[in-house]
Structure 1
Amino acid sequence: MDDGTLYSIGDLARRTGLPVRTIRFYSDAGVLPPTDRSSANHRRYDLTAIARLELVRTLRELGLDLVTIRRVLADDISMSQAAAIHADAIDVQIQVLRVRRAVLRLVAKRDATTKEMELMHRIVQLSEAERHRLIHDFIDSTFGAVDANPELVELLRSTMPNLPDEPTAEQVEAWIELAELVQDDDFKASIRRMAAHQAAERAEGDRTGLHHELTVHVRDRVTQALADGVEPSSAAAAEIVDELVAHYARTFDTTDGPEYREKLLTRLEVANDPRVERYWALISTINGWATAPSLAPVFDWFTRALQQHRTP
């Protein structure tokens, strides 16, 4: 019950345990207005003000800023609304801290320099929209100027890196490497060559899509050849090449022959950039997907075998 007694800032400090300077700061900030003034113009507070001060202290300990506290005390927003606002802000802070933790773990793992750490942190701090824009810019700069395979372009645009709220150090490392890869001029030039080659094939009438079934067939046949120790220059390899080229010819509605084999060899050589496979592996790591087994040994063997057996 309020008995009408008024208290000085020093009295409030003794009753609450808060420093005088803190109480004065709250008063100056408008969250603890004085109840009255003494004849010497010193601030005085009643028991209601003391209860208000205890509430301000509790809200500050929970992390609410003074602007939000002022709105609560003025009944502009309810306590539950203030709590929800602050909980959302804490969620953002937690996400930032998790990313920072992952970057620090990566720095420790790499024994990175200060400059490298700053670069890693800057790259990781990109928003999801900015990360997606980086990939779209890469696609635009490589496939945008030519009539390349639209199914491949759509696959690239629909497969974006989505760094989780609590990324692992591996996911952060993958995102940093991906960001560096899609901005690498040499890699972009290599992809532009692939896109131009695809555009030239489309100009000749190729509308066969992504050729997943063909890729699976080559993978299975060559994987067995590798397991059997078949050398690319051997007679056994020649039979496998005949089979695979025949499969390619059926897929692209053409016939096997020296001219077609040269064309197919060019196709394989243009597409033989291990960084493409690395691109997809990084996307999978960032998104938490299973990484597909590498096809590099398969197509390396097939290319070398085709170089050795250029005629049916």
Structure 2
Amino acid sequence: MTPEDKQHDDLWSIGQLAERAGVTVKTVRFYSDRGLLPEAARSGGGHRRYGPDALDRLRLIRSLRALDLPVPDVRRVLGHEGQEGQEGHQGQEDVLEDVIAGQLKDVGSRLTALRWREAALQLLTDCTVEERAERLRLVGAVTTPPGTAALARFWRCWLPARLPSRVVAAVVDRAVPVPPDAPTPAQVLAFARLQDFVTAPCFVSGPRAGTDYGQPEVHSSGKGYRPAVLYEGLPEAFELAAPDVRAGRAPREGEALDCFVAVHAAALGRRDTPDFRRTLHRMLAAEPRIDRYWQLASEVATPPAESPQPTPGSTDNWLRAALSSYGAEDTYGRVHTPT
């Protein structure tokens, strides 16, 4: 035994540390080579020697790795190991909490992907041979977990040009459904159909005012329309109408319709009069519709066993139906104006 070996009698060899920790020598060497498990010294023959504190550190490393934390995250946590005082302990706790939160998010994402895959496979199982090819095409275009970039892109393309970014963001936030974490097969199919709908050539090439599935006339520039006023004000009208839509009440006059008409009047630079309401009814009736989008968005957001929740599309339809009484004619051809 060399003098250096006698000096390190209280230290452990790599084999002794591995035995005490219940791991292989290869494992200890792996963590040591990556700087996670510093050696205390080297023997005269160049062999690694570790102090007793290495056992606790190795156990901590194994616990972190058992949670599937990658080596860089383990290194972040261990960066505060051995720092004295409350500050060092708190620093390690803060990093550990941050790392665990990130790992939870990653696991949640993977679980969501598996649930979507499971529901998609069930969807392909519970169908006829004739349906399977079409369903396979639809779900094959959906990532797992699904993304909503195509839906957001559709709205940014469909909305009028030069709309303030904050207004665009608010519209997209309300219009794009959040994919459920644990979808039913029906919700997977609805989302796949919705994505297929917004990526159709007529949308990808850019909608145009006055065409099928195109933009409303209010989106046109140079006609005195103020679409920013329209899209900033409509959410209030939708919120006022939502309780009636949720309860299944028939369209009617009231505060929601008054707000709806007032917003359109402000966007068109007009006053809310019976004549304007008749004009607005005719204008809205002639606009292109994207009811298919709203139907599918509602199916994505609502499990089959639950009642559909109001969407901007369903509340807009309810308000248009309430407005339609201003376009009704009696048997003598006179326009009926509600009292």
Q: Residue in 2 aligned with 1:17?
A: 22
Summarize deviations over 1:157-177 as a string: whole Å, max 9, x none. 462325267342355544433
TM-score (ref. length: structure 1): 0.59
Q: What's the CA shift for 1:105?
A: 2.5
Q: What CA distance in whole angstroms lies between the structure 2 residues aligned with 1:291 and 1:49?
A: 60
Of 164-173 and 83-92, more deviation after overlay is shown by 164-173
Q: CA separation of 1:154/1:192 partners in 2, compared to 1, >3 Å: closer, same or farther?
A: farther
User: CA 1:192 to 1:173, structure 2 compared with 1: closer, same or farther past 3 Å?
Assistant: farther
What secondary structure does 2:175 align onto? coil
| Aligned counterpart, 2:114 | 101
**Out of 53, 56, 59, which is 1:48 matched to?**
53
Structure 2 residues without counterparts, runs of 5 or longer:
1-7, 82-87, 125-131, 245-249, 253-272, 335-339
Q: What CA deviation, in whole Å up to 9, does each residue of 1:54-97 have, x standing for no partner?
A: 22222222333333333443427633123212222123213312
Residue 30 of structure 1: SS of its match in structure 2? coil
| Greater per-residue helix proportion | 1
Which residue is 1:224 aligned to?
Answer: none
Q: 1:32 maps to what in 2?
A: 37
- Structure with the greater relative contact order (CA < 8 A, sep ≥ 6): 1 or 2? 1
The change in CA–CA distance for 1:74 and 1:265 in structure 2 (over 3 A counts) is: closer
Listed as ranges, the matches of 1:1-312 within 5 Å are 4-75=9-80, 78-111=91-124, 119-121=141-143, 124-125=146-147, 130=149, 134-135=151-152, 137-144=153-160, 156-157=171-172, 159-163=174-178, 166-169=181-184, 170-186=186-202, 189=207, 193=211, 195-198=215-218, 250=274, 252=276, 268=285, 271=288, 274-278=291-295, 281-282=298-299, 284-285=301-302, 290-291=309-310
> Which letter maps to 2:115?
A
Identity score, percent: 21
Relative to structure 1, the CA distance from residue 57 to residue 184 in structure 2 (aligned partners, 3 Å threshold; closer, same or farther) is: same
- Cα RMSD, aligned residues only: 5.1
Tell whether the 8 Å contact from 1:4 to 1:46 is kept in structure 2 after alignment: no
Indicate the SS of the match to 2:142.
helix
Specify every segment of 5 or more residues in structure 1 that has no aligned partner in the other structure, as ranges.
222-248, 255-259
Question: 2: distance between equivalents of 1:40 and 1:32?
Answer: 20
Q: Which AA in structure 1 matches 2:309?
A: A
Superposition deviation, residue 26 in structure 1? 0.8
Asked whether the 8 Å contact 2:39–2:49 carries over to 1, the reply is yes
